């Protein structure tokens, strides 16, 4: 029977990284965009249109970028497995000794290392080499479509926060309310990501909040430099 100490989180790596990146990017980039155009003197409608247009374009870009990036990793994994499959076919004895050498370096005595290598090779040679020589596993396998969808969906959720804040706020207070909602959203996002990954919650929240506030401040400064208000 499992208890709390038996819970592992490595199976979340594939989607968690993309989701955290997408959510934080959605909050920061769209909030920064809206704060920037607000600081430049844009009217309420322009701020909202800018936020929505930026969200659509950036979500598509996030999904495409994540897919291409993770697909490159998947292509590399497939190429490595093809090479390993060929080596197993052409030089099985050398591959067996290579596997035994890996186990010896991990601390097994030579006789036991040889037995373990022989048994794992008999069971599934390619899986043994993929896991112990190449460091590939089903848990950490690259999943391009999953990463792309997680990234885009998380971006949309994150971007919705500053857009809703701007939509519900009086025109004169758009910048202040977008700032406030964004900071709160970033702290929550950082805390949830840290909790899901098993990291300290407060540290995760403050880390994400700090960089988000820095980005917002930079966007606000740029907007004021190009103030178009009359």
What pLDDT was estimated at residue 2? 44
Confidence at residue 229, expressed as pLDDT on a 0 to 100 scale: 54
| Residue 212 resides in a domain | yes
Residues 154 and 219 in one domain: yes
Assess whether 94 and 70 both reside in one domain.
Answer: no
Per 3-state DSSP, the chain is made up of helix, strand and coil in percentages (nearest 5) of 85, 0, 15
Other C-beta atoms lying within 10 Å of the C-beta of residue 80? 16
Please tell me the number of Cα atoms within 13 Å of 165 on its side-chain side: 24
Could you tell me the residue range of the domain that residue 83 belongs to? 79-132
Does residue 110 sit in the same domain as residue 170?
Answer: no
In terms of domains, do 91 and 59 share one? no
Domain membership flag for residue 110: yes
Task: Determine the Cα–Cα distance for residues 219 and 30; give it in Å rounded to an integer.
Answer: 10
The predicted structure's pLDDT at residue 144: 85
- Residue 54 CA: distances (Å) to CA of 8, 29, 36, 48, 61: 37, 9, 13, 10, 10
Domain total in the chain: 2
Instruction: Please give the C-alpha separations between residue 124 and each of 79, 92, 136, 140, in angstroms, as whole numbers.
Output: 19, 13, 14, 19
Nearest to 163 by CA among 61, 63, 53, 62: 53
Query: Running along the chain, 230 residues long, what does each successive block of 10 average in pLDDT?
Result: 46 58 85 90 90 93 88 88 91 91 91 92 90 77 80 89 90 87 87 77 87 88 75
With beta carbons less than 8 A apart as the criterion, state whether 30 and 47 touch: no
Same domain? 41 vs 153: yes
- 5 part of a folded domain: no
Query: How confident is the prediction for the chain on average, in pLDDT?
Result: 84
CB 178 within 8 A of CB 54: no
**Are 88 and 177 in the same domain?**
no
DSSP-derived secondary structure letter, 199: S
pTM exceeding the 0.85 threshold for the entire prediction: no
């Amino acid at each position: 029977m499992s208890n709390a100490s038996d819970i592992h989180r490595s199976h979340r790596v594939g989607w968690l990284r993309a989701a955290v990146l997408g959510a934080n990017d959605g909050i920061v980039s769209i909030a920064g965009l809206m704060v920037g155009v607000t600081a430049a003197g844009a009217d309420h409608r322009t701020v909202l249109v800018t936020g929505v247009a930026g969200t659509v374009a950036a979500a598509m870009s996030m999904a495409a970028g994540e897919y291409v990036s993770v697909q490159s990793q998947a292509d590399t994994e497939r190429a490595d497995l093809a090479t390993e499959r060929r080596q197993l076919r052409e030089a099985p004895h050398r591959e067996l000794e290579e596997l035994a050498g890996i186990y010896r370096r991990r601390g097994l005595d030579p006789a036991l290392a040889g037995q373990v290598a022989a048994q794992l090779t008999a069971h599934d040679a390619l899986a043994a080499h993929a896991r112990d020589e190449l460091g590939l596993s089903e848990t950490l396998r690259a999943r391009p479509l999953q990463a792309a969808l997680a990234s885009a969906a998380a971006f949309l959720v994150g971007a919705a926060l500053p857009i809703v804040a701007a939509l519900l706020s009086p025109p004169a207070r758009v910048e202040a309310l977008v700032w406030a909602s964004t900071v709160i959203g970033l702290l929550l996002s950082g805390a949830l990501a840290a909790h899901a990954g098993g990291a300290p919650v407060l540290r995760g929240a403050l880390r994400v909040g700090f960089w988000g506030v820095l980005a917002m401040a930079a966007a606000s400064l740029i907007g004021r430099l190009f103030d178009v208000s009359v």
